[in-house]
Amino acid sequence: MTDIQKQRSLGTLALMQIASGGSAGFVEVCLMHPLDLVKTRFQIQKGPDDPNRYKSIVDCFKKMYRQEGALSFYKGLLPPILAETPKRAVKFFTFEQYKSLFLFGASSPTPVTFALAGLCSGLTEGFLINPFEVVKVKLQADRQLFSQQLSAIQMAKTIYGENGFGSSGLNKGLTSTLLRHGIWNMIYFGLYHNLKNVVPIQKDQNMELGRKFVLGLMAGSIASTANIPFDVAKSRIQGPQPETGIKYKSCLQTIRLVYKEEGYLALYKGLLPKLLRLGPGGAIMLMVFDTVYEKLQNWF
């Protein structure tokens, strides 16, 4: 912690971290949401016999545009806007708090500190975000025209009215969400901060932004590749179930079932749109967070 930071109250620093994290989340969601939607569509489609199967990202965008309209690319946007802004605020704020907790008496953070702080911030984030994820996946899976779709609030009321707030309702797939976010944040923060301490800071401002972007891109891409089986499980559990009954019940049961019926590669469905979103999206978040946090420190 710098001398300037020491002079500020913990409350002021917390507000700065929350504001910076919220700004990072808002910008990232607005830019990258269409790719998140495509990722979900790929993850919930079944085998090659699916008549509505998408063949590629381009094919998915084309079919959605023709069948559902241009606004369909932003289906399910409101839950992430309402959730991702405070969620990213929670992500970065809790990471900073857990980082202090896991110093274990050291004067500066170690690689283990960053990994544990990332893991715990992800678990906290996943617990808070899961009801919004349930609503988002339901909206993204709906193939009606955008104008004919239930609103996010209506969908939330419907889910709550039919199944309540528990594991069959707004907290469906909680374990998968916790594992998805815990693993992602552990690798994302751990890798980024450890690499940032190795790769020299650039004196040129543009080069420094480029350094942060590349490191964030690497961290986001590797984290997304590592956690996607849990992401697929989450989408299957929270998405449409077969008419014959509930097929996808729990995280590990769903992973085993997808592997058995569709093969190993099915656990990586939606990886490309996810990488296209969370690779640069992860870089954008860190750049916006660092920029806003630095500005707030200068202003206050």
pTM tops 0.85: no
In this prediction, residue 78 carries a pLDDT of 81
Cα R_g (the chain), whole angstroms:
20
Residue 162: closest CA among 151, 175, 172 = 172
Neighbours of 203 (CB within 10 A): 7
Q: For the chain, give the mean pLDDT.
A: 87
If you write DSSP's letter for every residue of 211-243 in order, what string do you get?
HHHHHHHHHHHHHHHHHHHHHHHHHHHHSPPPT
The domains located in the chain, with CATH, are 12-299 (1.50.40.10)
pLDDT tens digits along 122-156: 999 999 889 989 998 888 888 777 678 888 889 99
Q: How many helices (H) and strands (E) does the chain have?
A: 10, 0
> What stretches of the chain adopt beta strand conformation (E)?
none
The DSSP H or E segment spanning 189 is: helix 174-196
Residue 292: closest CA among 57, 49, 66, 92 = 92
pLDDT tens digits along 10-69: 678 778 888 888 888 888 888 888 888 888 888 888 767 777 788 888 999 999 999 898
Instruction: Find the distance separating the first CA and the last CA of the chain, reported in whole Å.
Output: 16
Contact predicate 224/149, CB 8 Å:
no
Torsion of CA 175, 177, 179, 185, to 10 degrees: -150
